[in-house]
Amino acid sequence: MIEVRDVRAGYVTGVDILQGLTATFPEEQISSIIGPNGAGKSTLLKTIFGFVLPHTGSITYDGTDITEIEPSKMIETVGFSYIPQERSIFPDLTVRENLEIGAWTIRKDSERVESAIENAYEEFPALAEKQSKRAGTMSGGQQRMLEIARSLVTDPGVVLVDEPSAGLAPDLAQNVYQSLSQLPENGITVLLVDQNVEAAANYGDELFILEQGTVSENARTDDMENEVDDIVSEWISQEGYA
């Protein structure tokens, strides 16, 4: 599991977005992280992955301190993958070439790379059909699936996903969520930041509500079903959620 303890972090010295945040994210489940704009959701993922170094506090994974591990080493040495909110595919490269880039850290093991790519095609048949096509010619939903598939080629234990449905039509977004929901069945822990509160509650096992850089509430999603609507209504009334 991932434990975040009393973490303070931000992008400018003296201005912390995360205000002593403490949370424990269970393994092999989807932890959905929601909150109003500016609550620190994306900052939390970036801090866990090492893009933002905390000023205080610690982050551990299965008991090992990973607080100061560089992002470039998170995939290979820790087994974390990160899917940012912004599209991160290489549009002028083919689908297969994008997957090969995802396998860069295991590139010396050609058999493992080939097996990982074939597994990606089995998991995402649409990618197999378009493997020789430029990634930029695919729909937004297919591009998001390519990002997910690329994040899995190194067989990570944890996948961090920021706003998986951003900019997608509802039917395409649903396909992405369904793909993510299957990851825990393969032993993968998912931390999911989302503005789509309904999807976060429907597909998540555990719900974490962030407000002003801390976790204000945390429970099983089934137990918080009736509370979520009231919380979101309060955010909207304060014009802090969009």
Which pair of structure tokens corresponds to residue 89? Answer: 């595919």
Helical pair 140-152 and 95-102, crossing angle rounded to 10 deg: 30
For residue 227, pLDDT beyond 90: no
Indicate the DSSP class of residue 26.
Answer: P
Query: Which residues on neighbouring strands pair with residue 192, listed in sequence order?
Result: 32, 161
Q: Higher confidence at residue 25 or residue 234?
A: 25
Give residue-wise pLDDT tens across range 63-102: 999 999 999 899 989 999 999 988 899 999 999 999 999 9
Give how far Cα 183 sits from Cα of 11, 56, 81, 152, Å: 31, 32, 13, 9
The per-residue pLDDT for 37 is: 87
Superfamily designation of domain 1-79+157-242: P-loop containing nucleotide triphosphate hydrolases (3.40.50.300)
239 pLDDT tier (thresholds 50, 70, 90): low
Extract the runs of DSSP E, i.e. beta strands, from 107-157: none
Predicted model pTM = 0.90
CATH 3.40.50.300 intervals, the chain: 1-79+157-242
Give residue-wise pLDDT tens across range 35-69: 988 899 999 999 999 999 999 999 999 999 999 99
Place of tokens 């995939």: 75
The 3-state DSSP composition of the chain as helix, strand, coil percent (nearest 5) reads: 45, 25, 35
For residue 232, pLDDT beyond 70: no
Contact in structure between 209 and 40 (CB atoms under 8 Å): no
Query: For residues 113-152, b (16+ Cβ closer than 10 Å) or e, as one string?
Result: beebbeebbebbebbeebbeebbeebebbbbbbbbbbbbb
The most distant pair of C-alpha atoms in the chain lies apart, rounded to whole Å, by: 55
- Name the pairing type of β-strands 2-9 and 18-25: antiparallel
